[in-house]
Amino acid sequence: MKVGFIGLGNVGGKLAGSLLRNGVDLTVRDLDRKAAEPFLAQGAKWADSAKAVAEACDITITCLPSPAICSAVVEGPDGVLEGLSPGKIWAEMSTTDEGEVKRLGAMVEAVGAHPVDCPVSGGCHRAATGNIAILAGCDRETFEKMLPVLTILGRRVLHTGALGTASALKVVTNFLATANLVAVTEALTTCQLAGMDMNVAFEGIKISSGNSFVHETESQVILNGSRDINFTMELVLKDIGLFQGIADRVGAKLDVSPLLIEIFKDGIAKYGGGEWSPNIIRRIEEPAGIKVLAPGFPAEILDDEPEERGYEVTPARG
């Protein structure tokens, strides 16, 4: 099976690397040819357009920074749609808008191809090792065709239902991660101001009911001082904005989500959209005149789990 990958950024490059590392016949495309050079050096093929990727491959994967960019790549001139034909698959791995992926999916189906939205969750460190989680929205037959590739890209794969369901669920998870991040920054700042040993505080939270995936990962790069989690404030704001859009559409009156949006708008105004998301802590560090730091923590998070072939996760239903 030939797979094409469009978008070799922070996440996309790591996912494409898993395919290449596991012997997949891979064609790549990025606006920056330099981003593709390491893949080409290891045997991947280059395509001059998104159309050329779709023409050459059975599965075309897009992993791009925003819904607008994805739309341009799929339906624009020399786009994915122009290269698709009956039986092929377009897989959208970006964190995107549920309505937009459905709109593009209808165009994909109109040419006889099959759309899948399959965003990932778990951090860039797990994307790099093929241990990330994947949510996949599509009909069951398409999911079965896509599963051998998804189990190379990720460890745990969940079929969420019809097209669009994965994108909706993904932004729910990103909202929860963002709420955790903001809570962690407030907790760590308070611990330091209270004179606690920050190494002890980290371990205490980790072994307690207050623990979370965000604490185990992002707290470490906060305490190191690098704050490098390979995810920016502008991407956080995009994702929680998509979540708020779902809430607005279904009439959910929320308290925390609008506040998170305001916090990250303020962070972007102060530090720029390209600032690493854990540096949202600066909003409370700086007025307090402190820097939340502790020795012994890594500058970046690496996945210490061995790479293993993934599997489908089956929801419990009683």
Rounded to whole angstroms, how far apart are CA atoms 318 and 30? 45
Strands 120-121 and 89-92: unpaired
Q: Is 170 a catalytic residue?
A: yes
Note whether 160 and 136 are within 8 A (CB).
yes
Are 253 and 261 in contact, with CB atoms under 8 Å apart? no
Amino acid present at 221: V
Q: For strand 120-121 and strand 132-137, is the pairing parallel, antiparallel, or unpaired?
A: antiparallel
As a whole number of Å, the CA-based R_g of the chain is 20
Task: List phi, psi (to 5°) of 253.
Answer: -95, 105
**Rounded CA gap, 140 and 120, in Å?**
19
Task: Give strand pairing partners of 116.
Answer: 91
Residues 6+ apart with CB under 8 A from 298: 220, 221, 224
Catalytic residue (one of 14, 51, 88, 170): 170
Give the C-alpha separation, 184 to 178, whole Å.
10
Spatial separation of the C-alpha atoms in residues 29 and 35, rounded to whole Å: 9
Residue positions annotated with a catalytic role: 170
